[in-house]
Amino acid sequence: MSLAEELLELATATAREAGRMLVDKRPPAGPDVVQTKSSPTDVVTQMDRAAESLIIDRITAARPDDGFLGEEGGTRAGASGVRWVIDPIDGTVNYLYDLPDWAVSIAAESGGVALAGAVVLPRRGETYTAARGAGALLHTESGTRELRVNASVPLERALLSTGFGYAAARRASQAQVLTGVLPNVRDIRRGGSCCVDLCSLAAGRVDAYYERGVQEWDVAAGALIVQEAGGRVEGLHGAPAGPDLTIAAGPGTFEALHALLAGLDPLRD
């Protein structure tokens, strides 16, 4: 078994365990908000923290020398050269409101390159996985299938997914950009979870995705899944995907969306 396959096996098992815990132990009245971050709408629940703790404990037990980057503070250096990038609940507001589109996202990287990624959607019964160079898969109760992005979809027939920031000023700016995007595409979807949007792209359920303000833990696993499904994930003008802007789509569609966004000043504040 290669290192990437070994890491993927651990990521998948751990993400599934965390997902089961998040479903089984979710309080009937909803989880408590224990912290806000960038704005009052950017929330952390006690379940975010419990899931991240579970994930770090399980991975550390198997690989004690690895490092971590976790959204909820579980960050530490390691000695092995492998770092785990963890989002215990991507789509916390969806989880808070008991909407189904939230996920556990775990990626493993070495030298800044993602080797393995697993995204588990417990309420959908779906697990998305990818190991570098080995393709991307969707696992459900009915079986497993290989993922491929939709390629060369003309922008006017492309279904896009996107998201919005938490700060009011950032949302106002993103709304202005959106008014330039909407007349040029089939339609827009806003699901509330970056990694779920990326997995939907890999599965061919949408044709493209863009968003400003996503963090490394939001995209680490999902970006690898899109890339292994044949898509591109980048920022503007070849910059890495990240907080400034993340654009993802299949060949042909990516270039058209990039050109459209580049002309709309998407990095305005």
**How is the chain split into domains, by residue range?**
3-146, 155-262
HEC sequence for the chain: CCHHHHHHHHHHHHHHHHHHHHHHCCCCCCCCEEEECCCCCCEEEHHHHHHHHHHHHHHHHHCCCCEEEECCCCCECCCCCEEEEEEEEECHHHHHCCCCCCEEEEEEEECCEEEEEEEEECCCCEEEEEECCCCEEEEECCEEEECCCCCCCCHHHCEEEECCCCCHHHHHHHHHHHHHHHHHCCEEECCCCHHHHHHHHHCCCCCEEEECCCCHHHHHHHHHHHHHCCCEEECHHHCCCCCCCEEEECCCHHHHHHHHHHCCCCCCC
For residue 138 the two structure tokens come to: 């969707």
The Cα angle at residue 205 between residues 246 and 212, in degrees rounded to 5: 15
**pLDDT score recorded for residue 34:** 62
> Does the structural domain 155-262 have CATH classification 3.40.190.80?
yes
| Sheet arrangement for strand 126-131 | 67-70, 82-90, 103-110, 113-121, 126-131, 136-140, 143-146
- Rounded CA gap, 237 and 134, in Å? 27
Residue with tokens 């919005």: 164
Class of domain 3-146: alpha beta
Per-residue pLDDT of the chain (269 residues; tens, 9 = 90+): 899 999 999 999 999 999 999 999 888 877 777 665 555 555 567 888 899 999 999 999 999 999 999 887 778 889 999 999 999 999 989 998 999 999 999 999 999 999 999 999 999 999 999 999 999 999 999 999 999 999 999 999 999 999 998 888 889 999 999 999 999 999 999 999 999 999 999 999 999 999 999 999 999 999 999 999 999 999 999 999 988 999 999 999 999 999 999 999 898 77
**pLDDT score recorded for residue 29:** 76
Q: 3-146 with 155-262: one CATH topology? A: no
**pLDDT score recorded for residue 116:** 98
